[in-house]
């Protein structure tokens, strides 16, 4: 059995930046175990498998795997998969339109293409679920899991907490850019005190206007085989919605340019937005550019 694969760097305009993704444009005939083994073999943050949609009104069914587990939703695999399918022009014999609609375990994901002239250069997604704020997380737990001091955690605006719009993650604000740079995941703390079924990982962020950005972030998910993620669309789309929800304005359009992956040598740019009307979140999105890296064939 031979399977075509394509790898792309997501949330970047240049090769060897952003977050690498492997896309299997035709995953028919693969078992879940085989998909998991292929994702482990690529050993990237995620690998996506494209299947025919269950509803013909949709573009495709997409399954997403880290090296250790399947995810119900993730950001950079959606953006990268939309880019690959749109550049190919077809998926399972059907033309790919704009927007694309992906069926995933967390729900239906809409993606609008980003173009320069007629060329597809990226995509922007809307998450499959509304933002949900979950339980608070003790600052000392976040600090221990990320090799920080408790005093590095900023609690003036919010206590570290779990939030989700399809994938639960823990969010914590830091006081300084230096603290963000010094952070490192401790897998044993995650295993003992923040298990994967509670939160996929921890996203740390700091307000930093240098370099034309608004935020600098890092995300650690060691229990999923991702010690650090270069760009995390699912986390950052939840983050922009969460930050908008904290603002006092009843009507608000919040747009953020988010840098991630800088400290690991894979700089990424994620463009996030949230709309709030009459005190309620009405829309969230995350988008960015992609570049194709490799094409090849898997032998199974």
Beta-carbon contacts of 20 under 8 Å, excluding residues fewer than 6 positions away, are: 7, 8, 9, 10, 44, 45, 230, 293
- Residue 11 — pLDDT band, cuts 50, 70, 90? very high
Cβ–Cβ under 8 Å, residues 184 and 226 = no
- Model confidence at 165: pLDDT above 90: yes
- Residue 148 — pLDDT band, cuts 50, 70, 90? very high
What does the pLDDT average to over 273-287? Answer: 98
- Model confidence at 258: pLDDT above 90: yes
What per-residue confidence (pLDDT) applies to 250? 97
- The CATH code that applies to domain 2-125+290-299 is 3.10.310.10
Q: What is the separation of C-alpha 157 from the centre of its chain, rounded to a whole number of angstroms? A: 24
Distance of alpha carbon 102 from alpha carbon 82, whole angstroms: 9
Q: Which candidate, 243, 271, 285, places its Cα nearest to that of 154?
A: 243
pLDDT in tens, 92-143: 999 999 999 999 999 999 999 999 999 999 999 999 999 999 999 999 999 9
- Residue 278 — pLDDT band, cuts 50, 70, 90? very high
| pLDDT over 90 percentage in the chain | 98
Q: Where are the alpha helices (DSSP H) in 43-194?
A: 75-88, 139-145, 177-182, 187-193
What per-residue confidence (pLDDT) applies to 210? 86
Q: Which candidate, 199, 221, 205, 219, places its Cα nearest to that of 154?
A: 205
Helices 75-88 & 233-246, crossing angle to 10 degrees?
A: 120
What does the pLDDT average to over 216-239? Answer: 97
What per-residue confidence (pLDDT) applies to 149? 98
Q: What is the separation of C-alpha 278 from the centre of its chain, rounded to a whole number of angstroms? A: 28
Distance of alpha carbon 74 from alpha carbon 85, whole angstroms: 17
Beta-carbon contacts of 25 under 8 Å, excluding residues fewer than 6 positions away, are: 4, 5, 6, 50, 84, 85, 88, 91
What does the pLDDT average to over 266-285? Answer: 98
- Is it true that 2-125+290-299 and 132-288 share their CATH fold? yes
> Per the CATH hierarchy, to which homologous superfamily does domain 132-288 belong?
Diaminopimelate Epimerase; Chain A, domain 1 (3.10.310.10)
Which residues have a catalytic role annotated? 46
Q: Which candidate, 137, 134, 181, 174, places its Cα nearest to that of 157?
A: 174
Angle at 257 between CA 124 and CA 127, to 5 degrees: 35
Beta-carbon contacts of 266 under 8 Å, excluding residues fewer than 6 positions away, are: 12, 16, 17, 18, 19, 230, 231
What per-residue confidence (pLDDT) applies to 298? 96
Cα–Cα distances (Å) from 173 to 95, 163, 279, in that order, read: 43, 13, 23
What does the pLDDT average to over 33-41? Answer: 98
Distance of alpha carbon 119 from alpha carbon 146, whole angstroms: 41
- Model confidence at 208: pLDDT above 90: yes
- Residue 44 — pLDDT band, cuts 50, 70, 90? very high
Does the pTM of the predicted model rise above 0.85? yes
- Model confidence at 55: pLDDT above 90: yes
Q: 198 — phi, psi (to 5°)?
A: -90, -45
Q: Kindly list the domain boundaries of the chain, sorted by start residue.
A: 2-125+290-299, 132-288
């Amino acid at each position: 059995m031979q399977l075509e694969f394509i790898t792309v760097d997501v949330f970047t305009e240049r090769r060897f930046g952003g977050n690498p993704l492997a896309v299997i444009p035709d995953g028919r005939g693969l078992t879940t175990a085989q998909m998991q083994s292929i994702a482990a073999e690529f050993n990237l943050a995620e690998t996506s498998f494209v299947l025919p949609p269950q509803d013909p009104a949709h573009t495709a069914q997409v399954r997403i795997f880290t090296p250790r587990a399947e995810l119900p939703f993730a950001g950079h695999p959606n953006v990268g998969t939309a880019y690959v399918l749109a550049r190919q022009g077809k998926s399972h014999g059907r033309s790919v339109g704009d927007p694309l609609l992906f069926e995933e375990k967390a729900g239906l994901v809409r993606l609008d293409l980003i173009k320069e002239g007629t060329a597809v250069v990226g995509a922007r997604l809307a998450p499959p679920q509304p933002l949900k704020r979950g339980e608070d997380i003790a600052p000392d737990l976040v600090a221990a899991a990320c090799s920080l001091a408790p005093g590095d955690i900023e609690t003036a605006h919010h206590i570290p907490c779990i939030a989700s719009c399809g994938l639960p993650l823990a969010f914590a604000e830091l006081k300084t850019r230096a603290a963000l740079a010094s952070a490192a995941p401790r897998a044993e703390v995650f295993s003992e005190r923040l298990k994967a079924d509670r939160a996929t990982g921890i996203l740390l962020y700091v307000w930093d206007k240098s370099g034309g950005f608004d935020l600098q972030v890092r995300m650690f998910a060691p229990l999923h085989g991702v010690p650090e993620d270069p760009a995390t669309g699912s986390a950052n789309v939840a983050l922009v919605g969460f930050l908008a929800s904290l603002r006092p304005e009843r009507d608000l359009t919040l747009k953020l340019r988010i840098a991630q992956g800088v400290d690991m040598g894979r700089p990424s740019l994620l463009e996030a937005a949230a709309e709030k009307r009459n005190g309620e979140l009405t829309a969230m999105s995350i988008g960015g550019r992609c570049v194709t890296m490799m094409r090849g064939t898997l032998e199974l």
